[in-house]
């Protein structure tokens, strides 16, 4: 496995792989890797012969008062994990490599639009503009054939799909399923901030999703399904619910009670000062007569 800190170093590695007839897969991350990230690497390997993982904590997607400064940076440990997972190249650039010449991002060059101001975008204004800007920049630097994203960040996946469809049509997007801890908690780099008791509390997030799914399977309309999830949060006061919604996955807008078919339940909650997000696909059926 090779470690590249500059775009020039990475470019040489990628060009060599392409010259050897290899397909290039790319897994963008912010580091602090866990099993969820490593599964993305495994999936990347299924789609290509040369796998690149980027590790870059993007300042442009953090708002004022968010955890940019304390976001875990564990490059050496991350590289050890990736060596064991058959990764070919790690791209760990400085900010000046991603945002030349001085590493100051300035204003985002991509805009997420109206949907980017809802849910996660409402909680973190400007977040998706920063995400899309860095994704575009990294795609330009890596020039992959396929890029792998995890489903846990569902709204991000929706936005990235739109970006790739508009500007990077030669890049295939593969979305990997959520990886969960045995408790059901979705794996996240921020989970390391949770104490053991807070981890127990955090399980309510995935339990609420399952409650919504259970209601949907019994033919209840969307608003009743949401109530089933809210009931779980009502019984767990240590978890501060931010939103719980059922959206149309094609539009990322809330559905009405007339909606039938595949929908996406999205949730965000805070436990012990740690913000957690999760989601699950459900099927809203016709109610049995």
Query: Residue 142 pLDDT > 80, yes or no?
Result: yes
Residue 51 has a pLDDT of 98
Question: How is domain 2-176 classified at the architecture level of CATH?
Answer: 3-Layer(aba) Sandwich (3.40)
Residue 288 has a pLDDT of 60
Query: Residue 166 pLDDT > 60, yes or no?
Result: yes
How many Å apart are CA 134 and CA 123, to the nearest integer? Answer: 20
Residue 107 has a pLDDT of 85
Using CA atoms, how far residue 180 sits from 22, 35, 188, 196, in Å, is: 32, 9, 9, 16
- Summarised one tens digit per residue, pLDDT across range 241-282 is 999 999 999 999 999 999 999 999 999 999 999 999 999 999
Query: Residue 285 pLDDT > 70, yes or no?
Result: yes
Burial zone of 258 (CB within 10 Å; 0-12 exposed, 13-18 middle, 19+ buried): exposed
Pairing state of beta strands 274-284 and 261-271?
Answer: antiparallel
Buried b (16+ CB within 10 A) or exposed e, 171-199: bbebbbebbebeeebbbbbebebbeeebb
Q: Find residue 238's DSSP bridge partners.
A: none
Query: Residue 12 pLDDT > 90, yes or no?
Result: yes
Nearest to 26 by CA among 12, 10, 5: 10
- Rounded percentage of the chain residues whose pLDDT exceeds 90: 90
Top CATH class of 189-284 equals alpha beta
Residues 6+ apart with CB under 8 A from 144: 24, 25, 26, 48, 52, 171
Catalytic annotation, residues: 37
Task: Give the chain's mean pLDDT.
Answer: 95
How many Å apart are CA 75 and CA 288, to the nearest integer? Answer: 54
- Whose tokens are 């969820």? That residue is 36
How many Å apart are CA 162 and CA 154, to the nearest integer? Answer: 13
Q: Taking residues 88-97, report their average pLDDT.
A: 95
- Summarised one tens digit per residue, pLDDT across range 185-227 is 999 999 999 999 999 999 999 999 999 999 999 999 999 999 9
The two structure tokens encoding residue 69 = 């400064």
Residue 197 has a pLDDT of 97
Phi, psi (degrees; rounded to nearest 5) at 157: -60, -45
| Domain parsing of the chain, residue ranges | 2-176, 189-284
Query: Residue 289 pLDDT > 80, yes or no?
Result: no
Q: Do domains 2-176 and 189-284 have the same CATH topology?
A: no
């Amino acid at each position: 496995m090779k470690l590249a800190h500059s775009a020039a170093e990475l470019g040489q590695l990628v060009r060599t792989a392409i010259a050897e007839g290899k397909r290039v897969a790319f897994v963008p991350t912010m580091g602090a890797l866990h099993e969820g990230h490593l599964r993305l690497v495994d999936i990347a390997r299924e789609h290509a012969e040369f796998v690149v993982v980027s590790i870059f904590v993007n300042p442009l997607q953090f708002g004022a008062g968010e955890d940019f400064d304390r976001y875990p940076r564990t490059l050496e440990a991350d590289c050890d994990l990736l060596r064991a997972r058959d990764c070919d190249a790690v791209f760990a650039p400085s900010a000046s490599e991603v945002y030349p010449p001085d590493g100051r991002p300035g204003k985002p060059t991509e805009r997420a639009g109206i949907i980017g101001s809802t849910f996660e975008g409402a909680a973190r204004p400007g977040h998706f503009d920063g995400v899309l800007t860095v994704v575009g920049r990294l795609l330009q630097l890596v020039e992959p054939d396929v890029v792998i994203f995890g489903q846990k960040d569902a709204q991000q996946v929706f936005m990235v799909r739109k970006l790739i469809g508009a500007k990077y049509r030669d890049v295939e997007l593969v979305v990997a399923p959520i990886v969960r801890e045995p408790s059901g908690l979705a794996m996240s780099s921020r989970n390391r901030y949770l104490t053991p008791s807070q981890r127990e509390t955090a399980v309510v997030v995935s339990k609420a999703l399952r409650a919504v799914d259970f209601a949907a399977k019994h033919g209840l309309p969307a608003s009743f399904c949401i109530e089933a999830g809210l009931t779980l949060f009502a019984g767990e006061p240590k978890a501060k619910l931010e939103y719980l919604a059922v959206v149309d996955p094609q539009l990322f807008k809330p559905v009405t009670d007339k909606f039938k078919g595949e929908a996406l339940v999205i949730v965000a909650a805070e436990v012990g000062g740690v913000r957690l997000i999760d989601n699950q696909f459900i099927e809203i059926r016709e109610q049995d007569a």
